[in-house]
Structure 1
Amino acid sequence: MAAMKTPGVYIVEKNAFPNSVVEVATAVPAFIGHTEKAMNGNKSLINKPWRVTSMAEFRSYFGGEPTPVFEIQEAEGTEPELLLNGKGYKMQQSNTAYTLYYNMLLFYANGGGPCYIVSVGDYTMDFDAEKFTAGVETLIKEQEPTMVLVPEAIYLEKSACVALQQAVLAHCGLKMKNRFALLDIYNGYRSRQDPEGDPVNEFREAIGSNHLAFGATYYPWINTSVVSEKSITYANVDVAKLKELIEAEVAEWKDEKRQAQIAEQLPKLEDAELEQVDKDLLHTVLLQNSLVYRSVLKEIRQKVNLLPPGAAMAGVYTMLDNTRGVWKAPANVSVSNIVAPAVNISHDEQEDLNVPLSGKAVNAIRTFTGEGIKVWGARTLDGNSLDWRYINVRRTMIFLEESVKNAARAYVFEPNEANTWLNIKSMIENFLRGIWKRGGLAGSVPEDAYSVHVGLGDTMTPEDILEGIMRITVLVAITRPAEFIEITFQQQMQKS
Structure 2
Amino acid sequence: MNENKMKTPGVYIEEINAFGNSVVPVPTAVPAFVGYTPQAKYEGVSYINVAKKISSFAEFQSIYCYPDSVPPEQPVKQYNPDYYLVKQDQQPVKGDFITIEGSLYAIVPDPNTIYYLYNSIRLFFLNGGGDAYVVSVGTYGDPSGNPSNPEDHVINPNVELNDLLAGIKLLENEAEPTMYICPEATLLSVENNATLMQSMLLQNAEMKSAISIFDVIGGRQPDPFFYTKDISTFRNNTGVEGLSYGCAYYPFIGTTIMQDTDIDFTNLFGGNIDALAVLLKSESLSNPNITSIIKAIKDSSTIHSNISQLHTALLNASRIYHDIIAKVLSVINVLPPSGGMAGVITVTDNEIGPWQSPANRSVVGAVSLPIRLTEAEQAGLNVDAISGKSINAIRFFNGVGILIWGARTLDGNSNDWRYISVRRTLIFIEQSSILAARAYVFEPNDANTWKSVKALLSSFLTSIWKEGGLQGAMASDAFSVQCGLGTTMTSEDVLNGLMKVSIKVAVVRPAEFIVITFEQQMTTTN
What is the TM-score with the length of structure 2 in the denominator?
0.90
The CA deviation at 1:213 is: 0.2
**1:401-438 Cα shifts (integer Å, max 9, x gaps):** 00000010011000000111111111101111111100
Instruction: State whether structure 2 residue 106 is matched by structure 1 residue 75.
Output: no
The CA deviation at 1:41 is: 1.1
Instruction: State whether structure 2 residue 294 is matched by structure 1 residue 266.
Output: yes
Structure 2 residue aligned with 1:198: 229
Letter of the 1:163 partner, please give it.
T
The CA deviation at 1:76 is: 4.0
Identity %: 43
1:13-412 correspondence to structure 2 within 5 Å: 13-63=15-65, 65-76=78-89, 78-79=91-92, 81-94=97-110, 95-124=112-141, 126-174=158-206, 176-191=207-222, 193-195=224-226, 198-238=229-269, 239-251=273-285, 253=286, 258-259=287-288, 261-275=289-303, 278-357=306-385, 358-412=387-441
The CA deviation at 1:269 is: 2.8
Distance (Å, rounded) in 2 between the aligned partners of 1:279 and 1:492: 74
| Residue in structure 2 matching 1:417, options 443, 446, 469 | 446
Which stretch shifts more, 328-337 or 86-95?
A: 86-95
**1:95-141 Cα shifts (integer Å, max 9, x gaps):** 42022111111111111111000001112362111001100001111
The CA deviation at 1:275 is: 4.8
Structure 2 residue aligned with 1:490: 519
Aligned partners of 1:191 and 1:198 also within 8 Å:
no
The CA deviation at 1:18 is: 1.6
Distance (Å, rounded) in 1 between the aligned partners of 2:300 and 2:159: 27
Distance (Å, rounded) in 2 between the aligned partners of 1:129 and 1:443: 46
Change (3 A) 1:39 1:414: same
The CA deviation at 1:69 is: 1.1
SS in 2 for 1:37: coil
Instruction: State whether structure 2 residue 451 is matched by structure 1 residue 430.
Output: no
SS in 2 for 1:198: helix
Aligned partners of 2:392 and 2:404 also within 8 Å:
yes
Distance (Å, rounded) in 1 between the aligned partners of 2:309 and 2:41: 34
Change (3 A) 1:192 1:49: same
Structure 2 residue aligned with 1:12: 14
Distance (Å, rounded) in 2 between the aligned partners of 1:334 and 1:83: 32
SS in 2 for 1:203: helix
Distance (Å, rounded) in 2 between the aligned partners of 1:190 and 1:206: 20
RMSD: 1.6
Letter of the 1:34 partner, please give it.
Y
Distance (Å, rounded) in 2 between the aligned partners of 1:428 and 1:272: 70
**1:185-225 Cα shifts (integer Å, max 9, x gaps):** 00113446545862111111222211110000011111111
SS in 1 for 2:280: helix
Structure 1 residue aligned with 2:145: none
The CA deviation at 1:490 is: 1.2
**1:70-92 Cα shifts (integer Å, max 9, x gaps):** 12211245527111232211122
Aligned partners of 2:244 and 2:418 also within 8 Å:
yes
**1:234-258 Cα shifts (integer Å, max 9, x gaps):** 121122310221124322x2xxxx3
